[in-house]
Structure 1
Amino acid sequence: MRFEGTRDYVATDDLKIAVNAAITLERPLLVKGEPGTGKTELARQVATALDLPIIEWNVKSTTKAQQGLYEYDAVSRLRDSQLGDERVRDVRNYIKKGKLWEAFDAEQKVVLLIDEIDKADIEFPNDLLQELDRMEFYVYETGELVRAKIRPIVLITSNNEKELPDAFLRRCFFHYIQFPDNETMTEIVKVHFPDVKQNLLRAALTQFYDIRDTPGLKKKPSTSEVLDWLKLLMSDDLDASDLRANPTDALPRLHGALLKNEQDVHLFERLAFMARRER
């Protein structure tokens, strides 16, 4: 069982090595990188390439580790007991399986995605240490030990918003997705837009990387944003000549796809103002 990439996802050699190493070691693959570099999509493409189902657990700031295992609805059970409902005799009626339980209970190997783990509380990763390491957990309300029937392939993504505990990191295989260079980005774009004009693509990517390299930029545009930008350029049937740099232009064409806060918009407006003064 090896991941060699897919037709719809450009995976670099080092990324493929990382995925296959995690599969061989049977350890979670922790993937970090800038937002929009395809971390979440990687899990979906691994599932597609290996012909496996995928279970996605999207972590939020309010998510607790226990929710990934199961949740016990004691309030509903109390209400039903007051109403004389026969369901209260079996506590299992009030236990909702979490995403980890679903993955552990699957009859075949699955890909389990724990997406954006760094959004949750700092204790969240620590609370999953034993469950991800031993692939089992205990349900106290029923006295049941839930153990993975077939060990899932676990991919965990992080945007590096906060540091993860060392004990958690020791249990993972780690890979950082570097931001694509021009050559790799060209391949990515052609996967999404095979009919893009070559001169437009070259000009757009040149301008895109110039924007990313602008000193003082608060938020650098990502891969997903350059794809949105190119889609807009293509829909307007623009050419390379329409993108040629003009120092008197305040902002890049259709800049709203690339610049996502007012500080960066003002930065480009100031740069254009300074360029006009020098003329």
Structure 2
Amino acid sequence: MTMRFEGSENYVATDDLRVAVNAAITLQRPLLIKGEPGTGKTVLAIEVAKALDTELIEWHVKSTTKASQGLYEYDAVSRLRDGQMGDERATNIENYIKKGKLWEAFESEKRPVLLVDEIDKADIEFPNDLLQELDRMEFYCYELDRTIKAKQRPIIIITSNNEKELPDAFLRRCFFHYIKFPDDLTMREIVEVHYPGIKQKLVKDALQTFYSMRDLPGLKKKPSTSELLDWLKLLMNEDIDLDTLREKNPDKLTPPLHGALLKNEADVQLFERLAFLSRRESRGPAG
């Protein structure tokens, strides 16, 4: 049976994203997803696994992660210690082999989704070190003198925040898709999925403020989708729209509860300065 991703109730996938996921599934190539933080790269893998009713195996990459850890790790120190203590476990080397996420995915009875999250956090050689295993769908375990072969190719979704360039040889083996930041219409759909029946006036005013913030030149960290959703949750908790909140303090330059959107003092100061200048211009010169 052909696996196809058509989106899910909890994830608003654009047409081009659905096409990319299904192309990677058909070609049996890793899907490399890029996009700024908050565009739903990691959540995509979770929702693909749910939609296809299959297992999700998550490998969250850190700066210290080595590609070999995705295959397996051999704890020789523990085996030596147990052997010195006369522990019978030491006679079986398999007791000291810790299977990695790639090994888990290879052994799955049903074609799983393997998420390799934030691959660009690791050393530059990390992607190249995985090339052979991803191509051949097998690797050799020296300690067990055994070749571990995939029962079927997992659906591999790899995310990157563009912190560093990935090697060309690695890129050639992937199907690539860049998730654009959601436009106003798509963002409204996302908001409706998370907060069904939300006041449209609140959404309209909030999005206007949100996108104007993102467009500010010089902003260090643009607010993301998840931060918008947090902000809306707080505003709904107040049960007041933005205009009413502003009327309580007409001289307040930053939007209410802006701490959900702006994450450092430099951005808050920048926004306040630009908002102040904008307000002064709108009032015109003093008579």
TM category (shorter chain) comes to over 0.9
SS state at 1:155 partner: strand
Note the residue ranges of structure 2 that are not aligned, 5 or more in a row.
none
Q: Find 1:177's aligned residue among 176, 179, 193.
A: 179
State the AA in 2 paired with 1:57.
W
1:248 deviation in Å?
A: 4.0
Note the residue ranges of structure 1 that are not aligned, 5 or more in a row.
none
State the AA in 2 paired with 1:40.
T
SS state at 2:177 partner: strand
SS state at 1:175 partner: strand
Please tell me whether residue 253 in structure 1 is matched to residue 256 in structure 2.
Answer: yes
1:250 deviation in Å?
A: 2.8
Q: Report the equivalent of 2:4.
A: 2
State the AA in 2 paired with 1:249.
K
Contact 1:248 1:276 in 2 (8 A): no
SS state at 1:76 partner: helix
Q: Report the equivalent of 1:263.
A: 266
SS state at 1:113 partner: strand
Contact 2:89 2:95 in 1 (8 A): yes
Aligned-partner Cα distance in 2 for 1:207–1:243: 13
Q: Report the equivalent of 1:83.
A: 85
Aligned-partner Cα distance in 1 for 2:279–2:14: 42
Aligned-partner Cα distance in 2 for 1:199–1:243: 13
Equivalent residues in 2 for 1:1-279, closer than 5 Å: 1-242=3-244, 248-275=251-278, 278=281, 279=283
Cα RMSD, aligned residues only:
1.5
Aligned-partner Cα distance in 2 for 1:247–1:273: 12
Q: CA offsets, 1:207-242, max 9 Å, x none?
A: 110111111111111111101111111111011423
- TM-score normalised by L of structure 1: 0.96
Pairs aligned (count) = 279
State the AA in 2 paired with 1:29.
L
1:244 deviation in Å?
A: 6.0
Aligned-partner Cα distance in 2 for 1:150–1:20: 17
1:274 deviation in Å?
A: 3.0
Contact 2:246 2:256 in 1 (8 A): no
Q: Structure 1 106/273 Cα, relative in aligned 2: closer, same or farther at 3 Å? A: same
State the AA in 2 paired with 1:233.
L
| Higher mean C-alpha displacement, 54-63 vs 21-30 | 54-63
- TM-score normalised by L of structure 2: 0.94
1:88 deviation in Å?
A: 1.7
1:247 deviation in Å?
A: 8.4
SS state at 1:205 partner: helix
State the AA in 1 paired with 2:267.
D
State the AA in 2 paired with 1:223.
T
SS state at 2:216 partner: coil
| Higher mean C-alpha displacement, 173-182 vs 242-251 | 242-251
SS state at 1:145 partner: strand
State the AA in 2 paired with 1:184.
T
Aligned-partner Cα distance in 2 for 1:68–1:27: 18
SS state at 1:227 partner: helix
Contact 1:248 1:272 in 2 (8 A): no
Contact 2:219 2:270 in 1 (8 A): yes
Aligned-partner Cα distance in 2 for 1:210–1:268: 10
1:149 deviation in Å?
A: 0.6
Contact 2:32 2:174 in 1 (8 A): yes
Q: Structure 1 105/155 Cα, relative in aligned 2: closer, same or farther at 3 Å? A: same
SS state at 2:158 partner: strand
